[in-house]
Chain A
Amino acid sequence: MSEKGTPDKTELVKLKSAGDLRNTMDAYFSRLKEAAETRKRKIAWCTSVGPAELLYSMGFEVYFPENHGAMLGAGKNADKYIPTAVAHGYSPDICSYLTSDIGAFLQNETPLQKSGFASVPKPDILVFNTNQCREVEDWFNFYARHFNVPVVGIHTPLSITELTPEIVKSVEDQYHRIIPELGKVADRKFDMDRFREAVGLSHDGCVLWKEVLQKAKNIPSPINFFDSAIHMGPIVVMRGTQHAIDYYKILLKELEERVETNISAVPKEKFRIYWEGMPLWYKLSSMAKLFAKLDTCIVASTYCNSWVFDDLDPADPFGSSALAYSKLFIVRSDTVKEQVLQQLFEDFSVQGIIYHESKTCTRNSNNLFGMQHRLNKQTGIPYLEINGDLNDPRCFSEEQSIIAIETFVDQLAGRT
């Protein structure tokens, strides 16, 4: 606590790699823009944990509507677009990535227009995997109807406890099944060597991303959740390409230097917190400042830390893709999720957990079936639940949440 007029210096230290990140993302969007304008390369739309490697291996430029949804949220524009999607029959209670993205499309607006795009890049095909949620299929179907282009997908079983060979085989079979349609649209034959290469690049990118995240095990941590949520862009949209690898080598080097020179993401790190659930995209910056002011670093999160697909193996590209994308945290049962979380709490020396119950994303809100109570009993780690949403700011009470977060940190202070 500080008296008025004597604020603590708790400013966040920005990552120098942010410039390289911008360049990497700009180059990605330039490739997409060129493909959209010249039509020399085909464009596939893909869900964030869809078969990106397969698409890159077949020569597509790949666009991710979920990434676009996050851009709308981070730009604080989602609530401008959601009502339009709602008026078209999409409930305000379903995924606000979907409603803001479709709403923006119906209003013919996109933040990509600032980068010279006329609109979002028109798809030649849409490819989903329901491992994230069922909404992605409905979302892609909207655009398939609008553009009159094919939509193909992989249906992954949900709430998996034991990842049996039968489940993996079923997903692997579905990978094979979508290839003919992809080949028709791409106007090229599937090439196993190119797929192996893309899977290998994806694996290497994931391993680097994992190493980046694991730097936060250091006390104090050189990186926090708010950095990771932004810097995960390349692993989402360029997984399976050299571009992601090149960027994470730069970021990793900076973090290694930070650890060596004892530079921490939060200048006076006293408390280490785990963030369960989606980011509040429209409050990323103010939340980052709030936690820094409270000398608290969010060192790990389900959102960022579950984006590691190191099971990918070029020796068995289909089988390992099926395994990696079915092993994903979000598609697992609470039993498995609890084991994963306990390990993360231990690995990252977590003192407290914040569960963000996201109004429109129940699949990414893990406090809905009593997990918070069970993990508290098992680990003794205190927790806080806050109500909000990934993109829709109307579902978030900032003042109340600030009071709750400040109190939670005070609560942690009382325990030390």
Chain B
Amino acid sequence: MFRLGIDLGSSYTKGVLVDENDRMAAFHVVKTGYDFKKSSGKVISHFAEHHEIEYPVYSCGYGREQVGVSFVPNSELIALAKAVYEVYGRSCSIIDIGGQDTKFIKVNANGQVDKFKMNRKCAAGTGSFLEEIAFRLDVTPEEFTEFASEATQEVKINSYCTVFAISEIVGMIKDGATLPNIIIGIYQSIILRSVELSLVEDTLVITGGIPAMHPTIVDLFKQRYPDADSPEHAQYLAAYGCVLLNNKHQKEV
């Protein structure tokens, strides 16, 4: 029997199976689209093909109440903090960059959330910013990474606003800036928007779908914070944390 954690985010629905030893055993991600029940259903069906799932499932994210089977909803930030503490076992600062939100979470030495902050009400510093720019530049995430490796210098993107940032980029292209240098500028813009959420005073752990899809962002974070780390399966940690938060064994202790 496996327990299932599902993180129903604005862009992607992430599922993780957790075994009896509280280890992540299998992963699946689908686009969320317009129907949370449909996307969570796809994740559940995928796992149910080869594994026996224990119900209820444990959910978090924007669609946490929109699961078609018996479920227990959780706060995605608390779940993420739980999972990160499970992995690192010490106090740390988490920056999670997702499709619609960027979050800062300070986890204390006991694994509790000391404080957290979410991005302001716009796309700056989130995956939506990157998606929109990629669409306008007609570049895929994989190509972003390839281009970024060819950068010779960083160009600076100033605008908070996605639309204005695109105008700014168009101007840069007109002035002869190269795509690799622009892409590094875009990545740095996301990093700057996320580190202004709060002070990073201890180990920085980078999670979320955007660093998973754009590993160059993690490298750039490491230039700023040398001991920064992005754990394996960083995109699935909130889903994993949902299961851990509801761990019966732990509750009995």
Known: A1-B73, A4-B70, A407-B77. A382 touches B114 (CB 8 A): yes
The verdict on B44 contacting chain A, using a C-beta distance below 8 Å, is: no
- 19 A-B interface contacts by CB (under 8 A): A1-B74, A3-B70, A4-B56, A4-B71, A385-B117, A396-B121, A400-B118, A403-B62, A403-B76, A403-B77, A403-B101, A403-B118, A404-B116, A406-B75, A408-B116, A410-B75, A410-B78, A411-B115, A414-B112
A415 contacts B112, C-beta separation under 8 Å: yes
A411 contacts B120, C-beta separation under 8 Å: no
Rounded to whole Å, the gap between the CB of A116 and the closest CB of chain B is: 39
Residue interface mask A371-395, B partner, CB < 8 A = 1: 0000010000011110100000001
Chain B interface residues toward A at CB < 8 A: 56, 62, 65, 67, 70-78, 100-101, 112-118, 120-121
Rounded to whole Å, the gap between the CB of A65 and the closest CB of chain B is: 27
Rounded to whole Å, the gap between the CB of B126 and the closest CB of chain A is: 11
Chain A interface residues toward B at CB < 8 A: 1, 3-5, 376, 382-385, 387, 395-397, 399-400, 403-404, 406-408, 410-411, 414-415
Give chain B residues whose Cβ lies under 8 Å from the Cβ of A407: 75-78, 113, 116
User: Which of A3, A376, A399, A411 has a CB less than 8 Å from the CB of B72?
Assistant: A3
Give chain A residues whose Cβ lies under 8 Å from the Cβ of B73: 1
Give chain A residues whose Cβ lies under 8 Å from the Cβ of B120: 387
Find the B residue at minimum CB distance from A412: B113
User: Which of A3, A395, A399, A406 has a CB less than 8 Å from the CB of B71?
Assistant: A3
B62 contacts A399, C-beta separation under 8 Å: yes
User: Which of A5, A383, A404, A415 has a CB less than 8 Å from the CB of B118?
Assistant: A404
- For the complex, what is the distance from the CA of A397 to the CA of B67, rounded to whole Å? 22
Rounded to whole Å, the gap between the CB of B171 and the closest CB of chain A is: 25
A403 contacts B75, C-beta separation under 8 Å: yes
- For the complex, what is the distance from the CA of A395 to the CA of B120, rounded to whole Å? 10
Leading 5 A-B pairs by shortest Cβ distance = A407-B75, A407-B77, A397-B121, A414-B112, A410-B78
Give chain B residues whose Cβ lies under 8 Å from the Cβ of A403: 62, 75-77, 101, 118
Rounded to whole Å, the gap between the CB of A199 and the closest CB of chain B is: 43
Give chain B residues whose Cβ lies under 8 Å from the Cβ of A376: 115
Find the B residue at minimum CB distance from A382: B115
- For the complex, what is the distance from the CA of A407 to the CA of B121, rounded to whole Å? 17
Give chain B residues whose Cβ lies under 8 Å from the Cβ of A414: 78, 112-113
- For the complex, what is the distance from the CA of A410 to the CA of B112, rounded to whole Å? 10
- For the complex, what is the distance from the CA of A117 to the CA of B168, rounded to whole Å? 51
Rounded to whole Å, the gap between the CB of B74 and the closest CB of chain A is: 7
A1-B74, A385-B117, A399-B62 given; name 17 further pairs at CB < 8 Å.
A1-B72, A3-B56, A376-B115, A384-B116, A387-B120, A403-B76, A403-B101, A403-B118, A406-B75, A407-B76, A407-B77, A410-B113, A411-B78, A411-B113, A411-B115, A411-B116, A414-B113
